[in-house]
Structure 1
Amino acid sequence: MLPEARGSWIKDAALLVEDGTITYVGPREGLDMRGFDIVDLGNVAVIPGFVNAHAHAAMSLLRGYGDGLPLHAWLERIWRIEAKMDQEVIYHGSLLGVAEQIRSGITSFVDFYNVEPMLRALRYLDLHVRAVLTLAFMDRVEYMAEESWRRLRSIGEYTSMVREWDGGRLDLALGPHAPYSCSPEMLRDLAEASAKLKLRVHTHLSETEEDVAKVREESGMTPAAYLETLGLLNERLIAAHGVHLTDDEISLMGKRGASVVHCPRSNSRLGTGVARIREMMDAGVNVALGTDGPASSDSLDAFEEMRLMVYLQRARLGSPSAIGASDALHAMTLGSARAAGLDDVGALRPGLRADFVALDLGSIHMRPAWDLTTNVVMSAGRADVRYVYVEGRPAVEEGRVLLRGVEEAIASADEFRDLFRDVENTVH
């Protein structure tokens, strides 16, 4: 068992859980377990549940769409489809996306899509995850302009609804899509609401050179400096991507306590570049990991993100020691938990939620284990996820997702794809 990403493994370990909360982590020998229901998970490596700091779960319905396009051409096509997606479609996409994350060992997440369908999906799945749901704003995108201002006027109601939904397990974040897709007026209003209600602000920052150029042309500043002038650059900021941040921006973000969510597969697939993660870590920026959406990363797979994070930084810097496996695991657990403001997940310690993953150690690609943390990050995959527990309850058992509605969500995916074939055919 590995209580924390950068910690030491405990052999022949026990984990005691009462009412969904961890009460003991340590050696099993000599432990008095009378009165407890005992579950022997077998020959497994137990690690904290992953925290996905940037996801678009409902975009599971757009998996594989627009491959080969650069980001902004891809977005234009995506937005044409999304403008036709109603709440029912998004609900089914949310079901599919949440189930896929659970299968990958992701037990907490920060989602950037529609709030109401995700709430409905979590209720139907009877899944008591810790999650931050992002209320999206894009007043410079035609189909979202009017809705963005309506949402701005209703932030208080959305905040109460989400925070009261499942016993305080969920929180709301404010999601200006990007500095270039929101007006300065909207960004200022969101900064005020964030400060007043203590809400995270979740945005896409400096994902492409084109993004940076748009902000520079309008404001005369780099994107991070622009957010600073608007009151958005602080410890509540969750900045996805950060591929083209300058040295000064990285230093500023470190000083302000902001988080950058690295999405290596999405950035690679869309050809946007490689974020300078080593430099961010050295500057004190909190680095988290995210899968982005399946439309740009192909799957909601924590293992693939961790592995590629390590490979890309080592290749970029020409150094096999640029970052280690434990750095990637930390980013996918405690780093992401910090970004999301979730202080009861990301590690296995008494008082924290019993969210954990058990990986099969019997797989041929997991042996031998000279360094088990390296094996987990560099060799394991979601097929090795044997058990997943969310708040002490099994969500995956013997590799099978126990959540209801999963088969129906899978079956409906192709039906929804066919509904939008006419839209897809108009955007070539």
Structure 2
Amino acid sequence: MTSFPMDNDSFIVAASWLLSPEAPPLAGGALLVRRGRIGDLGTLQRLRRDHPVPIIDHPGCAILPGFINAHTHLELTHFPSWRLRSQLEEHPQRFVDWIIQLIKVKRGLTPDDMRASAREGIRMCLESGTTAVGEIVTARTLAPLYRGSRLSGRLFFELVGHDNSRFRELLREAVELSGESPAGSFSAGLSPHAPYTLGEETFPLIREAAAGASLPLAIHCSESTEETNFVFSSSGQLAERFYPFVGWERYLPPPRRCSTSQLLERAGLLTDSTLAIHCVQVSRADAEILRKRGVSVALCPRSNERLDVGRAPVALLRKLGIPLALGTDSLASNDSLSLWDELRFALDAFGDELSPADLFRMVTLGGATALGIQGDHGSLEKGKRADFQIVGQAGKRESGLVERVMLRGVVEDVYVAGERFDGERTSP
């Protein structure tokens, strides 16, 4: 491997293979990195001839796009240690028990706790080959930290509540923060959390704000039977335990006699810029609604297993052509923030429905498209940001290459906007 000063405007990174979704593997492939972007790509032989610049060679490896984690809560990265500190050592198996524990833990946190946790989450993403995320932001003061980091993607500012006046203020603040995203870093969006944490009178406010500011939405949708029971009949553990716990008894809605997807469609919150997260408890009729409205879905299979809420009907979603992405959720309900871990779990869980090539697309161009950032991310193409990873154990044979890399590949290096990652730096 040849090294050189990393402040050079241009250099070439080469490997045994260049792997990008929707393109055939390229043997002896290379990228020209120029001022943080992909200036050219092709065989090393051609790039060496056309561009007399320094070369970093990674024999036996493959160059892949940086992965796109479509659903994260990086501010919860330190949750396992917070739980121990709060002397809440149990791992709740029921969904509502988990929500209540999460709220109890968060009530004891300081702004410094949240900053340190988010910073660690950013580092963990980057070191595992993830270069962009769809991050749910509840602590608004963290926005500068994300934007000052080397990670990129989209920040979805979370919206929760029933009180109309307080909710309007929360929404106004979220829209204002959304307008502060600098180009090339994080785009913005809104995250109406879930139907059980929002009053229906807030739905038109969200719809109008999102349309007025051209902001996409990310919504936790049909994650559990507790949610579907609550939406349909205002019954079950969310009504009986969660609402009294947070003091929302007076906001308990009358039975809606519909599904989550039907409720959100009626509210006008399902559009082609909506990301529906989880979608475990969806029927054929629900899936048809998602398809008709052009909604993308972020699957989080390890989180779903940890919380014992079921498995998403992947075969149905794929049959209907619903765009899929993959997310890790948070360390409050998962063991790591690595999309490599997530996709390998998904291969075991959905082996009959998702191939290695399917999952490769879901964590690259699929994730970028779901977040609306595909113009800069998700594939190795001229003009895009030079966000890519060097993955070892690629081997020499093209036969079975994608499967081999997905199953056995090891991240050896990560480049973000053309700069090699060697530890996270944040400015704020």
Equivalent residue in structure 2 for 1:136, among 146, 158, 162: 158
Q: Determine if the alignment matches structure 1 residue 351 to structure 2 residue 372.
A: no
Equivalent residue in structure 2 for 1:61, among 72, 78, 81: 78
Taking structure 1 as reference, are residues 10 and 260 closer, same or farther at Cα in structure 2, changes over 3 Å only? same
Q: Deviations over 1:347-379 (max 9, x none)?
A: 0011211110101228xxx79875121122222
Q: How does 1:293-372 map to 2 (within 5 A)?
A: 293-314=330-351, 319=352, 322-343=353-374, 344-361=376-393, 370-372=399-401
Equivalent residue in structure 1 for 2:268, among 222, 231, 236: 231
- Contact 1:68–1:270 (8 Å) recurs in 2: yes
- Contact 2:67–2:131 (8 Å) recurs in 1: yes
Q: Size of the alignment, in residue pairs?
A: 381
Equivalent residue in structure 2 for 1:153, among 172, 189, 192: 172
Of all paired residues, the percent bearing the same amino acid is: 27
Q: Deviations over 1:122-171 (max 9, x none)?
A: 3554x1x332111111205x9xx98644221223311222x23xx34211
Taking structure 1 as reference, are residues 80 and 226 closer, same or farther at Cα in structure 2, changes over 3 Å only? same
Q: Determine if the alignment matches structure 1 residue 122 to structure 2 residue 153.
A: no
Q: Deviations over 1:194-245 (max 9, x none)?
A: 1111111111111101101111123221111111111111111111100011
Q: Deviations over 1:232-266 (max 9, x none)?
A: 11111111100011101111211211011000100
**Amino acid aligned to 1:277:** V
The 3-state SS of whatever aligns with 2:102 is helix
- Contact 1:90–1:114 (8 Å) recurs in 2: no
Shift of 1:327: 0.4
Instruction: Report the Cα distance in structure 2 between the residues aligned to 1:3 and 1:349, rounded to whole angstroms.
Output: 11
Q: Which consecutive unaligned segments of at least 5 residues does structure 1 have?
A: 396-400, 406-428
Equivalent residue in structure 2 for 1:172, among 188, 196, 200: 188
Instruction: Report the Cα distance in structure 2 between the residues aligned to 1:94 and 1:7, rounded to whole angstroms.
Output: 34
Structure 2 partner of 1:219: 256
Instruction: Report the Cα distance in structure 1 between the residues aligned to 2:25 and 2:141, rounded to whole angstroms.
Output: 39
Q: Determine if the alignment matches structure 1 residue 21 to structure 2 residue 6.
A: no
Q: Deviations over 1:294-342 (max 9, x none)?
A: 110121010111112222123xxxx4xx321010111111111111000
Q: Determine if the alignment matches structure 1 residue 272 to structure 2 residue 306.
A: no
Q: How does 1:246-285 map to 2 (within 5 A)?
A: 246-285=283-322
Q: Determine if the alignment matches structure 1 residue 403 to structure 2 residue 403.
A: no
Equivalent residue in structure 2 for 1:30, among 25, 46, 49: 46
Structure 1 partner of 2:63: 46
Instruction: Report the Cα distance in structure 2 between the residues aligned to 1:17 and 1:368, rounded to whole angstroms.
Output: 26
The 3-state SS of whatever aligns with 1:30 is helix
**Amino acid aligned to 2:34:** E
Between 1:201-210 and 1:20-29, the stretch displaced more is 20-29
Q: Determine if the alignment matches structure 1 residue 92 to structure 2 residue 116.
A: yes
Instruction: Report the Cα distance in structure 2 between the residues aligned to 1:358 and 1:222, rounded to whole angstroms.
Output: 44
The 3-state SS of whatever aligns with 2:195 is coil
Return the TM-score normalized by structure 2.
0.83
> In angstroms, what is the RMSD of aligned CA positions?
2.3
Return the TM-score normalized by structure 1.
0.83
- Contact 2:147–2:185 (8 Å) recurs in 1: no
Q: Deviations over 1:84-125 (max 9, x none)?
A: 323222111110001000111000001113354443333554
Taking structure 1 as reference, are residues 280 and 84 closer, same or farther at Cα in structure 2, changes over 3 Å only? same
Instruction: Report the Cα distance in structure 2 between the residues aligned to 1:42 and 1:368, rounded to whole angstroms.
Output: 13
Instruction: Report the Cα distance in structure 1 between the residues aligned to 2:120 and 2:45, rounded to whole angstroms.
Output: 41
Q: Determine if the alignment matches structure 1 residue 110 to structure 2 residue 134.
A: yes
